[in-house]
Amino acid sequence: MSAGGIAGGREAGARRVEAVIGVLGGLLVLFFAIAPFVLPVLTNPFWVSIAAEIMIWSLLAASVNLLFGYTGLLSFGQALYFGFGMYGVAIGVSALGLGFWSAFAFGIVVSVAMAVVAGALAVRLTWHYFAIITVVFSLIFYFLALTLKPLTGGDDGLAFSLPPMFRFGETEIALTNQTVQYYFIFLVVAACFLLMAVILRSPFGRALVAIRENDVRAELVGINVYVMRLASFVVAGFFAGIAGALFAFFGRYASASYMFYHVSGEAVVWAIVGGTGTLLGPVIGAGLLIIIREELSLYWDHYLLLVGAIVILTVIFAPKGIAGLVYDLVERMVGGPRTPGAAAERVPDAQREPAE
């Protein structure tokens, strides 16, 4: 890093960039906050439930982002914790007879417990091996869920009826009310993203980025790399579990097919296309690709060709994703004097060639 006369100007520029990015992020959140009132007027009430779905999936993508974008570990198995959250809720309600909140908590607890066990083993590995073992773990439980039909319903899934959230005498508040459901999802997802922002600004978040940049150096300055990676893995599993629990409430069922590696792969795609290493990148990625799925599939049966092409083009031309492009654009417009090589500094180590 060079310190010089232009450093002050650059700092002010950086603050302006942060401010503009903050406003853009705020607008994105505002859009989701008012979507149930705006979307039915602009288009069609059907899009409100798509917006809810986008929020849930962006939470799963955010769990990939925490691991890959901030810790430098590419997990191809986040669907496992999503599936556990999902089945926790479904089995909790249908088999254990739990109420709404306890089923929700149960879903989160089982997915976190699974993440602790899987993470304790998986984070001993890095790089290729980490990606592979996360897939393997998710496949093991996918196949288990397929065989344990009495418990999981296998491929057909396990449907359940929604328990009420609150009951005041005769009146019940439940997710069967579309507006209640939307805002419940909105509040939970927003709280998770807020928590993620807090984590990333905390010393723990800084330690994760240090590990992403160079794990040997991080170890040398006294960071316990294993424990930090495990903690990151567990937090990612927590987010994925919440996403799964929300999706169970949203769809009123759970199915083994959501634990397959294609779901994990989709989450990785959303995170990468949206922009890893940025807080709201996963929301952009999940939003864009789900809108493409919902809108384009009506006219073109083979829209997945376009999705595959977007993935490949993003990786080749915009490895920092859409959020990265937006960031660069804003920086060019209001960022003031630019430092050559500044962009290169932000490429995490994990995306470079591995050191032997």
Q: Which residues bind other proteins (CB under 8 A)?
A: 68, 74, 76, 121, 124-125, 127-129, 131-133, 135-137, 139-140, 143-144, 146-147, 261-262, 265, 268-269, 272, 301-302, 304-305, 307-312, 315-316, 319, 350-354
Which of 142, 250 has the CB closer to other proteins? Answer: 142
Which of 33, 315 has the CB closer to other proteins? Answer: 315
Cα separation, 160 vs 94, in Å, equals: 6
- 333-338, long-range: CB < 8 A, 24+ apart: 333/20, 334/13, 334/16, 334/17, 334/20, 335/13, 335/14, 335/16, 335/17, 336/9, 336/10, 336/12, 336/13, 336/16, 337/6, 337/9, 337/10, 337/13
Which of 165, 225 has the CB closer to other proteins? Answer: 225
* Strand 166-168 versus strand 158-159 pairing type: unpaired
Residue 287 tokens read as 């939003």
Residue 246 tokens read as 């929300």
Q: How far is the CB of 222 from other proteins (least distance, A)?
A: 26
Contact 327, 278 (CB under 8 A): yes
- 189 burial level (CB within 10 Å; 0-12, 13-18, 19+): buried
Q: How far is the CB of 127 from other proteins (least distance, A)?
A: 8
Q: How far is the CB of 135 from other proteins (least distance, A)?
A: 8
Q: How far is the CB of 126 from other proteins (least distance, A)?
A: 11
Specify which residues 172 forms β-bridges with: 167
Which of 183, 226 has the CB closer to other proteins? Answer: 226
Cα separation, 83 vs 262, in Å, equals: 13
Which of 24, 307 has the CB closer to other proteins? Answer: 307
Which of 75, 181 has the CB closer to other proteins? Answer: 75
Q: Going by C-beta distance under 8 Å and a sequence separation of 6 or more, which residues neighbour residue 265?
A: 76
Which of 33, 310 has the CB closer to other proteins? Answer: 310
- Chain-centre distance for alpha carbon 300: 28
Which of 123, 242 has the CB closer to other proteins? Answer: 123
Which of 76, 258 has the CB closer to other proteins? Answer: 76
Cα separation, 329 vs 312, in Å, equals: 22
Q: How far is the CB of 355 from other proteins (least distance, A)?
A: 11
| DSSP character string of 10-21 | HHHHHHHHHHHH
Cα separation, 238 vs 106, in Å, equals: 12
Q: How far is the CB of 102 from other proteins (least distance, A)?
A: 31
Q: How far is the CB of 255 from other proteins (least distance, A)?
A: 16
Q: How far is the CB of 104 from other proteins (least distance, A)?
A: 29
Q: How many other CB atoms sit within 10 Å of the CB of residue 149?
A: 13
| Longest distance between any two alpha carbons in the chain, whole Å | 70
Q: How far is the CB of 139 from other proteins (least distance, A)?
A: 6
